[in-house]
Structure 1
């Protein structure tokens, strides 16, 4: 089981658990708002007297999935078979439990050519209400780069921290991928495989590189003092975006469904 908490990461807001289930799993949300996101399989989610049946999916490359939201200070029971991600964020407000249908998840194709990728915007500030939690899925065909140009989500206000970001990876087959994170006090180029996690407390991140022959999935979990997805490209590489106008989007996209 993958477990990242604010305490274990050494920051203040973002967390993630990935659990393999064969039956019920009950937990207290405490100070966190949470999502239940099927990665492979289906389940029911019970919270505050409500029950949400999640149809789920075969795997992360089969298409978008429905999901459930649970607030802070709640008891949640997930009953199902499969693998489930539970993104979390420290929350100050208690919102109502809710169901997020797969049909309501906007699917966006970003980039072009070898920078083509798919983004499932299921819990971003303009698609789903939450207190601090931001989450989306990125799928990259084998041989392509995503999270490119490199970018960051640093806050510009004195005394405020950057968005704390978690990348959780799955790779189709037994392949590998690579993740770059860099800045004045951080310099990482990591090989990642299915089930690996990279923590990004600050600085530029990208590219996420899918090795040829191996499609790449990652779940982004972000939270900070404000629920604002402020993106700033590394000025040294921002010109790359201008090259996309003359290139088609990779025809292997989208995975599993049409774009909304």
Structure 2
């Protein structure tokens, strides 16, 4: 992994119709992968999953997903900042067609899988929305494909929404050694940043750093469509610039049991205790399956 750049810029691994292609081979590891599919109105893409189980997760737009002889329709969403979306699970060793009547972009989180599970639809209304942290470390986590919420062979995936000015993935943590209280998982962060009211592009920052004899050192500005690969090491914070809400998609997989267990950096784990009595940021949740909440709805009036 030391020869692979952990920062993958938007378009640098494009392979039509995919805007982004991260395979285990390209990442220098064994299990986790991600593709982003961009389709024009009426466009379609056909591909085989091979050894991977995958999800079709709308980032913008809706689509029809056909897997072998079965089909589901995904309502999707206008953007990752507009609502929690529905999604589809497609198993390994399958032929898949994604068709977007009105166009759109679709993330395809993937993991090398041993079992072939059924093709399934994941309703937006069944996605568990969790608020984590407190104060300026508050964030929203959409647990659409975590072990407690959706069955897969190896794949773990979730979405995180961080209001502008907040830090998430904090305290810094790791999951690179199998043991008590920690899983061994390779992780991909895929980022999108909400535009300014005038439509300008925003940015955020991501930190990753090593431990013991496993050096890695990333402190990078990220923009919409960028990816950071985390083969090991402490990662966090993910920093949303003031005025720009931040979205990232986490994709994880590893060799052991399908568990998401993390270990905080002992230098910073004390921060969790400081949250006692501090409320969650009142801007959260940013979205639900019914759409983006207004300030009045968040206040409950």
Q: Tell me the TM-score normalized by structure 1.
A: 0.96
How many angstroms apart in 1 are the aligned matches of 2:266 and 2:233? 13
Moved over 6 A (4+): none
Residue matched to 2:52: 32
Name the SS for the 1:169 alignment partner.
strand
Name the SS for the 2:275 alignment partner.
helix
How many angstroms apart in 1 are the aligned matches of 2:129 and 2:287? 11
Q: Please report how far the alpha carbon of residue 187 of structure 1 lies from its aligned counterpart in structure 2 after TM superposition.
A: 1.3
Question: Which of residues 244, 253, 262 is equivalent to 1:214?
Answer: 244
How many angstroms apart in 2 are the aligned matches of 1:84 and 1:144? 26
Residue matched to 2:205: 178
How many angstroms apart in 2 are the aligned matches of 1:187 and 1:74? 38
Q: Name structure 2 gaps, 5 residues minimum.
A: 1-18, 196-200
Name the SS for the 1:61 alignment partner.
coil
User: Residue 176 of structure 2 contacts residue 231 of structure 2 at CA under 8 Å; is this kept in 1?
Assistant: no
User: Residue 154 of structure 1 contacts residue 230 of structure 1 at CA under 8 Å; is this kept in 2?
Assistant: no
How many angstroms apart in 2 are the aligned matches of 1:155 and 1:54? 37
Q: Tell me the TM-score normalized by structure 2.
A: 0.83
The 5-angstrom pairing of residues 38-187 of structure 1 reads: 38-80=58-100, 81-156=103-178, 162-173=184-195, 174-184=201-211, 185-187=215-217
Q: Name structure 1 gaps, 5 residues minimum.
A: none
How many angstroms apart in 2 are the aligned matches of 1:151 and 1:144? 17
Q: Which is higher, the Rg of structure 1 or of structure 2?
A: 2
How many angstroms apart in 2 are the aligned matches of 1:205 and 1:238? 13
RMSD of aligned Cα (Å): 1.4
Q: Please report how far the alpha carbon of residue 155 of structure 1 lies from its aligned counterpart in structure 2 after TM superposition.
A: 2.6
The 5-angstrom pairing of residues 192-231 of structure 1 reads: 192-226=222-256, 227-231=258-262
Q: Please report how far the alpha carbon of residue 156 of structure 1 lies from its aligned counterpart in structure 2 after TM superposition.
A: 2.7
1:200-226, CA deviations, whole angstroms, 9 ceiling, x for partnerless residues?
Answer: 000100000000010000000000012
